[in-house]
Structure 1
Amino acid sequence: MTLLTLPAREVRAHAFRETAREAGLADVLGFREVKPNANSGQDYDKLFVGPNPWAILSLEAWYPSGRSPYLKVTHSQTIPQRCKVLLDGFARRFELQGTKVVVHPSYISVHADLRALLDSLALTLSGATVGSKDPPPSIRTVAVARPVVAPPSPAVAVSWPLASEGMGPDASRGLASLATRQERLEALVSGPGTFARHPDNARLLPITLSYATPFRGTFFGETTLRGVAAELQDRRVDVLILGSNPNAGELSADSPHGSLGEQFHSGLFGEAYFDAARRPRAGWAPQTDRKPGWQSLFRAIQGAGYRGDAVTMANYLPWGSSQLHEFLNTLDAALLQRVVEFADLQLLRMLALLRPKLVIAVRSLSQTAGLEASVPARWGAQAVPASVDVPTVAGGIKRVHLLKTPALHTGGVPIVHMPHPGYLRLSRQAAPLFEQALARLMV
């Protein structure tokens, strides 16, 4: 029986399954069958899924009379806590946009654009597997799906750039092309500008300059987006250092910063610096910083068995100021909420693309007022305290506080929370003790 001869309800059910598959969900959930509901007064299509780490049992597309379809995700009541956190976070992102959300012990339902929900769910589940050995399959298929229909919130006005729409999902299955990775890196670079250009976020436009690019430094010695994309074909990032936001300070006439457009067109992976003739060059890199704190961090990274050239850095918030709390205090409550939603979405996409084995996050991300609802703060809430006592230059003892969030609470990648490396003040006697303690925490 061909699709054209199926009853109308089965055609619709088939279309729901194909839409979910194009979003990348078939690879992570293992679809079994889809059935149109036959009960009177209830109009929905139910897609049964196979065994999966998230304890999800089915996806349902509901079609209420006179309203747009919405998504219901049914899961086991014995769902692991880390998976419940992921699904609750998926629903919450839409709830913060004013969307109706129902969270039940055995399901969640979100009343938003069905295609946008399926794409967002695929990204959420892909981000949950960042600690696995192989790339999440859904990362390959999301890239060739139809364009995301974004909800009408300025917080998520940036959609993932997609490969040629002329390629169907079957033609691209199993592909992880250089173009796809490069497009995803470019989306992360251009995202802050797209977000700031929304009328509700225009307050950010004057400070959305070249330093608003998320990445710093290199990856396996590569300085360009194209070069990093090629390396990511066969390699994962060993360590992602997650900073808070750029320490841009006050802009001056001799500032090396350019526009975000200039940054994008430079083709560089990390932040570019520009001379008077607007020629770009690679900017600051954590691997080459001579401050003792950064040097101690990289010695600890290598002591834990990670490669120093497989380390990259990104900022959680792309907008710069001398102090994080000063920047946050300039935002009204609604804009702050949208900024945190945007930063969380960028971070999840970054984790799914880079698949780091370890994340090192500066502690300010989990301790600064205004970021309590952010992903880094939720990581911090699950962290286990650790510390190391080190001698000071004056002959006393200083306790350096560290935290570690086990992979159990983050979907597969451990998080080490530590003071900002640039502000570590360690004596020569203290540095080896600190590095050994930090390295043990990284393993």
Structure 2
Amino acid sequence: MASAITLAAETELSAANTGFMLICSALVMLMTPGLAFFYGGMVRVKSTLNMLMMSFISLGIVTILWVLYGFSLAFGTDSGSIIGWSSDYVGLSGIGLTQLWDGYTIPIYVFAMFQLMFAIITPALISGALADRVKFSAWSLFIALWATVVYFPVAHWVWGTGGWAFELGVIDFAGGTAVHINAGAAALGVILVIGKRVGFKKDPMRPHSLPLVMLGAGLLWFGWFGFNAGSWLGNDDGVGALMFVNTQVATAAAMLAWLIYEKIRHGAFTTLGAASGAVAGLVAITPSGGAVSPLGAIAVGAIAGLLCAMAVGLKYKFGYDDSLDVVGVHLVGGVVGSLLIGFFATGGGQSDVAGLFYGGGLTQFWKQCAGVFVVLAYSLVVSAILAFLIDKTLGMRVTEDDEVAGIDQAEHAETAYDFSGAGGGAARTAVPTPAAAASKKVDA
């Protein structure tokens, strides 16, 4: 009988959870092309392809680094609560085909690929702050270095067993600190080093394709269900379902809050505001959605939508050129969503930890503060140092002439749209009718 009980208690591979996580991984992968479209529509025509490529190149670079050593650094055996390392994870070569991620019913391979998609999109998020002015080669090198010395260690802090934030009890369901604060702080660090675009605050820099922005926002919203609900690594106890509900609810609330603020402040409901508000809600609910109720998700989304809408204008006040509002949306939204856990956590979701409004006091709030501000400071400083070193060696920025003429042509020898055949009048070779020929003689 004891033997039977022991066998029953052993964790077995779940085909349902494995399939669910494979689908979630694919959804998160789709978010990076979605981000490319979102950012690509927000820039001027002459920068469209460069903006798309700054996201797409992350799919290549980070994938290879993750397989070689990134997964080992982020999720290997802890060393000093700072970094991980497991030789079996190097090259993903020492992992059995059905070997399970510890404590779960999915293979390590599936967990590794799900986490890879987070590692890919995080540096891609930074790119929106650097639009129009960064060499593609320098950006590619920055991604490789930043992923190695910033993202992989921070992922271990937050999600790796033994990581200091994980052991402290900082709640980050799906990436408020590890992804959004990390990327937003990095963006601020880099733009403080490389400076403003030519014509910042002087020339109009309006989005060239708002339909493309809305398409990108829609793909992000869609993929984010995998990003958030999948982070529970299974679908057995309802927590993933709660996160799915809260993802939708908070996003809707943030979009509405942004639009209301925009109407009061600027007199119009804009499509760019709707898209940006939705992303702000997605960012804020990412760390908190497993800990709050649907009503709490409405509060988190509405607060984030309002504060992010207010924050995007700070770049004009303080003079930093955050091209596509990465700081205003991802950094501010990540901070808001992470800190609000300390107030709105119910104690009935992912854990029994309750926030201030549910009788838990401020204990969790102070833990959230520790996670938020340590990650923010580390990413800001290290990212600025990396940008400075690259700028002094390879050079981070294209020349002023290339920036003005268009970074697409300078860096990629292409343009997003070919208008040479538009109208087509000069290219037509049809034989003129007799009446047309006679008219031409009279005109002559």
TM over 0.5: no
Structure with max Cα Rg: 2
Q: Hey, which of these two has a bigger chunk of strand by percent?
A: 1
Q: State the TM-score, normalized to the length of structure 2.
A: 0.30
Q: Hey, which of these two has a bigger chunk of helix by percent?
A: 2
Q: State the TM-score, normalized to the length of structure 1.
A: 0.30
